[in-house]
Structure 1
Amino acid sequence: MSHSIHSSIKEIQKDMYFGTEVLNRVSFLREDNEFITRSLFHPSTRFIFFNRQQPLVYKNYGTKLAILTNGNNQVNIDELTPGVHDKLGVTGTKFLANGLYEGIPGWKSVLNTWNEDNRNHDKELRAGGKPIFLFMGLLDESIGLDVNSLKGESEPAVSEDDDGEKYLDHQGRYQGIAYYAVDVTRNQELSQQLIEFVNRCVNEQQGTATSKPKSAEENGVYYTHSRKHFLSFEHKEASLYSYGAMFFNWLKTNKFCPGCGHPTIPIHAGGKLACTNDAKTEPTAEKPEPRFICPVRSATVSNVSFPRTDMAIISIITNRDRSKILLSLGKRHAITKMYSCTAGFMEPSETVEIATKREIWEETGVNCAEVSIVMTQPWPFPSNLMIGCMGVVDFNGTDEVIHLGHDNELLDARWFDTSFVRKLVYPDEVAAGEDESFNPEGILIPMSESIAFSLIKLCVDEARNAHKL
């Protein structure tokens, strides 16, 4: 579910859609081969699957992200609801009755192959039909997991990889449930097997496995490309989807080294790219130690080896007393009449504040007097971080004048009375029979999952609070 429109900014900052903290990334453990091996094969480990950056879902049951486990009968973990649950714990029902070990032929072989390739930095790591794995992190006590509640769930070990515990314990220091994202784009056979496996699980849960089993299409089991689904996930699911999708976009678009053109492979459990060019210079009297010919491999610091995030600013524009809000209509929203905040990408050597002022002027012609940073949101389309700001404009007869002729991106931009915008944010405040009279043009604002909505809401709330004072 999305945030309630009555959520406070503090709550939204903590639980931003696509950006909720759901895992302890323990990124330093990506280089620990022992940990990766133990977490990869543990029965409790969760897997999220992507095909061409599209996540596997079973949408007919609440647009749920399909999260699968290695072992059978793994425990279900309750959602952490602020003010209700202090700790995540066992719900009393099983997470899924069936696990990948029994449900997918050759699953353990797939894990073994990737584990050895990752451990040895094999040059063929993403060759042929091999899936790409990404270690995402641990659901642990720092994220609210009550490890003690899982201790009573231990069962007799059923395999050499199963220690009987329902959570991973590494060196007595890192305890929890490991999560991996898996890109199966290169292995369509495995991709289809996963669809069929999840569909069998759904049929069993619905009691239709033997009587009249439904097809995957009937059960809504597939890899979705729809933003309608991405924006309908529960917050935890949305953040897990965003995490995997952004990493896999980076891996897909960086298959070759920018320094020498050789293929790259994702090492450290998917968290770092490595050039496969092993060629070195010949030793000389001046430089007796050979160096890699590839400038990326020989560099002290290589930014291209790590994931990138494209920074974009998005700003709500208002005046000093918050009585006016400037919203704009982009060309692609002409039919829906959705007015939103001003946004654009940052440029090198630009501060957030200067980028915000620049984008406001370039798109609307308005001169912004001051800028404050409010909140941020990851936006996985494909790999952006939206930096939400508030820009204040002094109404002096010049700075607030709108001019759309600079870069010609917008169809319209207007200063709206905040009292009008408030009714778009809080539709329950619209009086009966007032729907058409207060908004004859049918103007819309962005959906509540977006940072644009949160910024607009912040502004109208500040106006109301200022009025009360």
Structure 2
Amino acid sequence: MTDIFFGTTTTLNRFSFLRTNDDFISKTILDPLSPARLVFYKQDGKNGIHPYMIQRDGKFGMLNLQLNTLPSQLIRILHDWSMKNSKKANDLRDDVTLVFLGLDEDGLDEKYLFNDNSLSGSFIYPNSYKLKEYPQFKYDKFQGTPYYAIDVTQCQEFQTYLSSFEDVKTVNNMMSILTVSKNESSLFAYSKMYMDWLMRNKFCPGCGRQVIPVDAGTRLLCKTPKEECPVKSSAVSNVCFPRTDPVIIVGAVSSDGKKILLGNNQRHPAGPNGKRMFSCIAGFMEPGETIEESTLREIWEETGCSAREVKIAASQPWPFPANLMIGCFGIVHFDGVNEVINTELDNELADCRWFDVDDIKTLLNGGELDDVSLPMEGSIAYELIKSLALGKY
């Protein structure tokens, strides 16, 4: 399950230890030969932040522009951000907010981390945009193409420039986002989670004063003196970094492998074709819970069935807003009690059924089955169901 939507591994290496290196960050922005690239976001005023995307032939791609191809007044804004970032200035958020995403190692002879799935090679560009060739950025022994996410909500100059591309717009529809390439979907998940976190966290939960995003946008800093802020004075604080919420998603199967348990959530009524999506069981992990305990609990709470074995399979980032889906298999031993369905415990499912494996294979092969449809291909739910149907678990 290495090719999952939002979770496909690309040639982007995060180089997280370089986020705190102000000299490195400044040079990726200020060097006139830096091939740094930007992906763009804008808030919509309704506590949401959305990407700028290109629409072409019914599909979408993330807008991705080189820093040094921008108009000079926009480059100056980015240079100002670089200086403010180095100084940890109080007005760091006033114009634009940037997050350093990493170096794309695509095309390098020697890569530190990942080798396939070209990130830069997967993009489409606005019709009127001219991509330029730059040498790879080098710093110490590290090299690649620097990538940044940028929130332009407070900067009218950037918004005016981006609106000049006739095939570019902000997109807030999940189904449109799901049409991007899998490589781009990974970049979207990564950058969107940071952008969303920065948008929602502007004040210190300890003292209520404003915080600024330091370490190239990846950590929040409260500049209140330590003795005046209970968060800063605590022995351990976990409010300065982005939050990721773990979610269990489990494909439940009978111990003989002949039946698969799927549910239709109350939130997913029948579509125009009369089909209802039946998917895996899913729910948030709770504090103090292991993955295995959470899996068994979610199966029982949603379906009434009791599993006794758990196998961890794979994971998928889910940027709506900041979840990590932990895919598992739950084995149910039929005994006349364990497999009995009861959806009235938490009333989350509108319907729940044990499906014959052969019927699931029919759906996977494009066939029809009454009012039933499966999750989108490439999602971890689809991959879990597929693995169960093929006996690969």
Report TM bin, short chain.
0.7 to 0.9
SS in 2 for 1:453: helix
Match of 2:80 in 1: 113
**Structure 2 equivalent of residue 60 of structure 1:** 56
Write out aligned runs for 1:50-449 (5 A). 50-52=41-43, 53-60=49-56, 62-71=59-68, 99-100=69-70, 104-127=71-94, 130-140=95-105, 141-142=111-112, 143-144=114-115, 166-171=135-140, 173-196=141-164, 199=165, 216=166, 219=167, 221-278=168-225, 291-336=226-271, 337-427=276-366, 430=367, 435=368, 439=369, 441-449=370-378
Aligned residues: 360
CA–CA distance in structure 1, aligned partners of residues 21 and 266 of structure 2: 49
Sort the Cα spacing of 1:259 and 1:225 in 2 relative to 1 into closer, same or farther, 3 A: same
C-alpha separation between the residues in 2 aligned to 1:404 and 1:227? 28
**Counterpart-to-counterpart distance in 2, 1:131 and 1:449:** 34
CA–CA distance in structure 1, aligned partners of residues 203 and 342 of structure 2: 44
Q: 1:373 & 1:263 partners in 2: Cα distance?
A: 41
8 Å Cα contact 2:29/2:79 also seen in 1: no
Structure 2 letter corresponding to 1:138? L
Deviation at 1:295, TM superposition (A): 2.0
- Mapped contact 1:41–1:70 kept (Cα < 8 A): no
Deviation at 1:105, TM superposition (A): 4.6
Is contact 1:139–1:178 with CA below 8 Å preserved after alignment? Answer: yes
Once residues 49 and 108 of structure 1 are traced to their aligned partners in structure 2, the CA distance between those partners, rounded to angstroms, is: 15
Contact preservation (8 Å) 2:7, 2:317: yes
8 Å CA contact 1:231, 1:449 repeated in 2: no
The alignment yields a C-alpha RMSD, in angstroms, of: 1.9
Higher strand content, 1 or 2: 2
- Residue number in structure 2 paired with 1:459: 388
Aligned partner of 2:9 among 16, 21, 33: 21
Cα deviation digits, residues 209-234 of structure 1 (max 9, x gap): xxxxxxx2xx3x10111112211111
Secondary structure of the structure 2 residue equivalent to 1:340: coil
| Cα distance, 1:328–1:165 mapped onto 2, change above 3 Å | closer
Counterpart of 2:36 (choices 45, 56, 63) is 45
Displacement after TM superposition at 1:342 (Å): 0.5
CA distance in 2, matches of 1:39, 1:144: 22
Q: Is the 8 A contact 1:369 1:393 kept in 2?
A: yes
Partner SS for 2:289: coil
CA positional deviation for 1:297: 1.8
Tell whether the 8 Å contact from 1:329 to 1:413 is kept in structure 2 after alignment.
Answer: yes
Look up the equivalent residue of 1:134 and give its one-letter code.
V
Could you say which structure has the higher helix fraction? 1
Question: Aligned partner of 1:266: which letter?
Answer: P
Q: How big is the shift at 1:167?
A: 1.1
Query: Aligned with 2:372: secondary structure?
Result: coil
Distance 2:353 2:40 in 1: 43
- TM-score w.r.t. length of structure 2: 0.88
Compare CA radii of gyration and give the structure with the larger one.
1
Per-residue deviation, 1:447: 0.3
Asked whether the equivalents of residues 364 and 402 of structure 1 are also in contact (C-alpha less than 8 Å), the reply is yes
Counterpart residue identity of residue 167, structure 1: Q
Contact residue 227 and residue 233 of structure 2 kept, 8 A: yes
Query: C-alpha distance in 1, partners of 2:209/2:9?
Result: 36
Contact 2:97 2:150 in 1 (8 A): yes
The equivalent residue for 2:125 is none
**SS of match in other structure, 1:299:** coil
Query: Kindly, what percent of the aligned residue pairs are identical?
Result: 40
Q: Deviations over 1:17-42 (max 9, x none)?
A: 11223311111111111100111234
Q: CA deviation at 1:191?
A: 1.6
Secondary structure of the 1:321 match is coil
Q: State the AA in 1 paired with 2:229.
A: C
Q: Is the 8 A contact 2:318 2:325 kept in 1?
A: yes
CA distance in 2, matches of 1:225, 1:105: 29
Confirm or deny: 8 A CA contact 2:42 2:153 kept in the other structure: yes
Return the alpha-carbon distance in structure 1 between the equivalents of residues 258 and 322 of structure 2.
Answer: 35
Cα distance per residue 1:392-417 (max 9 Å; x no partner): 00100001000111111111100010
Q: For 1:313 and 1:265, locate their aligned partners in 2 and report how far apart those are by CA, in whole Å.
A: 33
Read off the aligned partner of 2:91 and give its amino acid letter: E
Partner amino acid, structure 2, of 1:49: F
Normalization by structure 1: what TM-score? Answer: 0.74
* Partner amino acid, structure 2, of 1:361: W
Residue-by-residue CA offset, 1:80-132 (whole Å, 9 max, x unaligned): xxxxxxxxxxxxxxxxxxx11xxx351121112111111111112113xx110
Q: Aligned partners of 2:376, 2:5: CA distance in 1, in Å? A: 11
Structure 1 stretches of 4+ moved >6 Å:
none
